[in-house]
Amino acid sequence: MLILGIESSCDETSVAVVKDGREVLSNVINSQIAIHERFGGVVPEIASRNHVEAISTVTKKALEKAGVKIEQIDAIACTYGPGLVGALLVGVSYAKALSFALDRPLIGTNHIQGHIAANYISHKELKPPFLCLIISGGHTHLVHIKDYNSFEVLGKTRDDAIGEAFDKVARVIGLGYPGGPKVDKLAKEGEPNIILPKTHFDNLDFSFSGIKTSVINLHHKTPDVNKADLCASFEKTVTDILIDNTLKAAKQLNINTVALAGGVSANSYIRRRFLELKDTNNLKVYYPEPILCTDNAAMIGSAAYYNFLNNEISDLELNAIPNLKLN
């Protein structure tokens, strides 16, 4: 089954052709990072306009790269939430038009479910049940993946998403946008020798605003603090928090498979620390290849395949839902 996946929830216009949920024939990503860089973050209205300008060209390229004619596509999938409403509406409207014109099923897909599914593309052997830690610019969710379409959110952030904290720390210490990859790089030159506060809850929720504020205050009060040490300490502290909750959940549910997903799962330090859990805690850890960590349409095509198998088909009333939940 060939699915055309469309992703436009934030600042990437992406279209992919995915076969049977796991094989990517093409995955074209048109990033707007350079456009938003000078504003220090994504400007929603500018993002929507650029999606409108890019989406037809990106779709044509995706079909060309896959060597597939549009008539060969069996279903059209799009992200319908969560995300920026104007940005989502571009992908949703485009997908609806294609579905109507080609008379193919429309499969509205949850963006977070897409991030989880990125692991199915990178790891053909991965099957539910497992734990998934979705760490991105908009989300920090610890989820029990009971089946392809059955999720239980075990914990989530009570304030900032982890990616937001990375981006804010980077901006304050002058590394620019998007900050995650820049903090990742600079941290390699530093030592995690600065103690930062960790917030813990009785349940499996997360909090990152305290640590973010403390890095910002430290930078302002002691301007000569070593930035590389600050980045390394920030990374170590947030990773400790992620690992504490993941181990708690693994023990509670007696599950020993964990998948990472989302933009922040591209972080080299986080990956390394999680991989070490194989030896120390007998946890099998998966993460997608870097291009599938950040927003892309292949993950939407993959998730949509499992929605289709589960009879979750949308109609032309499908609308963008900016705060769409996972279940």
**Bond into 82 cis (ω within 30):** yes
Q: How far is the CB of 42 from Zn ion (least distance, A)?
A: 12
Q: How far is the CB of 42 from ligand KG4 (least distance, A)?
A: 9
Among Zn ion, ligand KG4, none, partner that 266 touches (CB below 5 to 8 angstroms by kind)? ligand KG4
The span from the CA of 122 to the CA of 140, in Å, is 21
The span from the CA of 110 to the CA of 221, in Å, is 42
Decide whether 2 or 29 has the Cβ nearer to Zn ion. Answer: 29
Decide whether 98 or 238 has the Cβ nearer to ligand KG4. Answer: 238
Asked whether the beta carbons of 58 and 17 are under 8 A apart, the reply is no
Which of 326, 322, 261, 317 lies closest to 8 in space, CA to CA? 322
The span from the CA of 204 to the CA of 246, in Å, is 8
Decide whether 104 or 139 has the Cβ nearer to Zn ion. Answer: 139
Q: How far is the CB of 83 from Zn ion (least distance, A)?
A: 8
Decide whether 50 or 233 has the Cβ nearer to Zn ion. Answer: 50
The 244-283 site mask, x for binding Zn ion (CB under 5 A), equals: ----------------------------------------
C-alpha radius of gyration, the chain, whole number = 20
Q: Taking the chain, what is the end-to-end CA distance rounded to the nearest angstrom?
A: 26
Q: How far is the CB of 272 from ligand KG4 (least distance, A)?
A: 12
Can you tell me which of 11, 12, 184, 295 binds Zn ion, judged by CB under 5 A?
A: 295
Asked whether the beta carbons of 20 and 302 are under 8 A apart, the reply is no
Residues near Zn ion (CB under 5 A), total: 2
Q: Which residues bind ligand KG4 (CB under 6 A)?
A: 10, 136-138, 163, 166-167, 178-181, 184, 262-264, 266-267, 294-295
The distance of Cα 312 from the centroid of its chain, to the nearest Å, equals 22
The span from the CA of 171 to the CA of 79, in Å, is 29
Decide whether 13 or 267 has the Cβ nearer to ligand KG4. Answer: 267
* Site residues for Zn ion per CB under 5 A: 136, 295
